[in-house]
Amino acid sequence: LDTERSISLDTCAQEPIHLPGSIQPHGFLLVLDEPAMRVTMASESAAAYLDKPLHLLFGATLTELLGADAGLESLLEKEVTTSSRYFKTLQVPAAGGRSFEVIGHRQGSFLIMEFEESVGHLDTEAVQIEIYNFMTELRQMRSLGEICSGAVTLLRKLTGFDRVLLYSFDDAGHGNVLAEDRNAELPSYLHLRFPSSDIPEQARRLYVVNRVRVIPDVDYVPSRILDEEGSTPEFDLSGSVLRSVSPIHRDYMRNMGTAASMSVSIVSSGRLWGLVSFHNRSPRRVPYRLRTACDFLVQVVTSHIEALLESEKLSRAIDLTSIQHRLLTWMAAEDNYLLALTSHGSDLMALTGAHGAAIVLDQSCTLVGNTPSADQVLDFTAWLQQSARGDVFATSSAVSIYPPASHFAACASGVVAVSISKLHDSYVLWFRPEVVQSVRWAGDPQKPVAQGKGDLTIHPRNSFESWMQILRGHSLPWLPEEINAASAFRAAILEVVLRRAEEMARLAG
Ligand code: BLA
């Protein structure tokens, strides 16, 4: 079953979602080639919007086609680079005078012009002042939860979606919903965990580069992109705003009971840290300018989250450094430095945030706090030595790599061990107790996909019922700062030992 599952998930990751050959039909797309700046490709919807057969569009300039503002082309040439977009709201006489949001970007030697029909009236000043006020409040916010809740509440207010979720990805790529604002139309997903398979790798990569996508109506009929020969070229739509999305994802949305969705990437240090996901039970359009405002807001929120997490890390590291200084001072004052460590056991444990610690020198073992027995510790360090785990070893689930740990999982599911002698098996170890965690998944994570009946097609799972998983044999994870503290402490001990040895040699000489 597992191979079946991974085959289907691989298939997901191989879908070339940047080359769909079509767009969503709430607008039209024209591709111009440089330097001629004439139409070489167009979506079928362009014919409908411009009320002209498609073959008459090829070879034309924008001015010829749209009957609009003749300055458009030169503007485009000057303003649009590979990384920047051109944007303008435009009345198009050739489309019955309707108003469009025109979004242009460059793709190699092509200019991609997308025309989204304008919807309703957007009160930009109201949006601006909301965002401005929120930025003032942000400065007072001191916790991740507060920032995320504030953000989803404002984003829902601005866009009017039924539900807005903010979720972050963990190391395994699963999404954890940190904040939610919603009305009664859609159920709550707050604090649920979504399996990583819901968003395949290539989509995550694309979402780092192109931070916003919308699907105003999941049941849309894709509009093909055609060239003069009437065929659909493999044309990269990574930067497009109208790109037609994966049919598998459209199934997923239907299974979720949502007709419209939008999502905005939270990108931190070039990595997809999370997403803000917007859902509506019925179809819903969001003007481009409002999407841009949402993206702007999410970027501001992201930098606040980064600053908050960074300062938490920093203050943890500073705390640990001062504990280390105290320990080293005591060690320096005491002839038997090990005795110094054990008589200041609470600082020794605090150095990594542990509940127990042990010092192993050759075959003797000294314990402080909540630990396995001396024999169990010695067996464990013998295994460490044998399996050559390196100078600094850390796990939050000892039992998953060392089966005998099941006998002491309750007090020591988490272990950090540093070797303090090159010659003997000598170690300092820290232990953390098991914390039984219950994780609520949005649907059974073992069943991310369903195989079609008698065919090879893949479907996303159709249940989002929350599913409780009990995680045993795990401690709270060790933070990188805590492992660093153990590693720095090891270096300091080795130095003390070395200095002592030199002194002894000098005295003896
Ligand atoms: C895309 N999957 C997505 C997107 C989201 C999710 C947000 C981005 C598109 C959008 O904005 O709607 C998933 N939506 C979620 C999650 C939450 C949410 C996790 O609200 C949590 C709150 N999906 C599957 C399986 C496959 C799959 C099994 O479940 C593959 C076989 C594919 N998901 C898939 C693909 C895309 C996607 C291919 C990219 C869609 C595109 O941009 O073309």
pLDDT digits (tens, 9 = 90+) for 213-229: 999 999 999 999 999 99
pLDDT digits (tens, 9 = 90+) for 391-443: 999 999 999 999 999 999 999 999 999 998 877 789 999 999 999 888 888 87
User: For residue 63, is pLDDT > 90?
Assistant: no
CA-nearest of 24, 25, 29, 27 to 40 is 29
Instruction: Give me the pLDDT at residue 505, please.
Output: 82
Task: Report, as an integer, the average pLDDT of 116-129.
Answer: 92
Q: Which atom of ligand 1 is nearest to the CA of 206?
A: 42
Q: Say whether both 352 and 395 belong to one domain.
A: yes
| Of 75 and 378, more confident | 378
Q: Say whether both 11 and 28 belong to one domain.
A: no
Q: Tell which of 116, 141, 164 closes a domain.
A: 116
Q: How far, in Å, from the CA of 183 to the mean position of ligand 1?
A: 22
Instruction: Give me the pLDDT at residue 13, please.
Output: 86
> Does the C-beta of 261 come closer than 6 Å to ligand 1?
yes
Q: Tell which of 275, 310, 345 closes a domain.
A: 310
CA-nearest of 210, 201, 207, 15 to 112 is 210
Instruction: Give me the pLDDT at residue 474, please.
Output: 94
> Does the C-beta of 200 come closer than 6 Å to ligand 1?
yes
At residue 186, what is the residue type? L
User: For residue 361, is pLDDT > 80?
Assistant: yes
User: For residue 272, is pLDDT > 90?
Assistant: yes
280: CATH: 3.30.450.40
What value does the mean pLDDT of the chain take?
Answer: 90
Q: Say whether both 81 and 201 belong to one domain.
A: no
175 part of a folded domain: yes
Q: Say whether both 252 and 301 belong to one domain.
A: yes
Distance of alpha carbon 253 from alpha carbon 255, whole angstroms: 5
In whole angstroms, how far apart are CA 407 and each of 250, 379, 421?
Answer: 48, 12, 28
Q: How far, in Å, from the CA of 262 to the mean position of ligand 1?
A: 11
Q: Say whether both 135 and 223 belong to one domain.
A: yes
Q: Say whether both 104 and 149 belong to one domain.
A: no
User: For residue 448, is pLDDT > 70?
Assistant: no
Q: Say whether both 211 and 274 belong to one domain.
A: yes
455 part of a folded domain: no
Name the one residue in this structure whose structure tokens are 């003749």.
Answer: 70
Task: Report, as an integer, the average pLDDT of 467-476.
Answer: 88
Instruction: Give me the pLDDT at residue 7, please.
Output: 53
Task: Report, as an integer, the average pLDDT of 128-148.
Answer: 95
Task: Report, as an integer, the average pLDDT of 264-285.
Answer: 97
85 part of a folded domain: yes
Task: Report, as an integer, the average pLDDT of 315-337.
Answer: 89
> Does the C-beta of 458 come closer than 6 Å to ligand 1?
yes
User: For residue 1, is pLDDT > 50?
Assistant: no
Q: Tell which of 310, 345, 367 closes a domain.
A: 310
Q: Say whether both 143 and 221 belong to one domain.
A: yes
354: CATH: 3.30.450.270
User: Whose Cα sits closest to atom 3 in ligand 1?
Assistant: 199
Q: Say whether both 50 and 133 belong to one domain.
A: no
Q: Say whether both 306 and 399 belong to one domain.
A: no
Q: Say whether both 65 and 210 belong to one domain.
A: no
User: For residue 196, is pLDDT > 70?
Assistant: yes
> Does the C-beta of 264 come closer than 6 Å to ligand 1?
no
166 part of a folded domain: yes
Number of domain units in the chain: 3
Domain extent for 425? 334-436+472-508
Task: Report, as an integer, the average pLDDT of 203-209.
Answer: 96
| Of 500 and 277, more confident | 277
464 part of a folded domain: no
Instruction: Give me the pLDDT at residue 74, please.
Output: 59
Q: How far, in Å, from the CA of 300 to the mean position of ligand 1?
A: 24
Q: Say whether both 303 and 342 belong to one domain.
A: no
In whole angstroms, how far apart are CA 38 and each of 35, 220, 228, 255?
Answer: 8, 29, 12, 42
| Of 496 and 78, more confident | 496
Q: What percent of the chain has pLDDT over 70?
A: 92
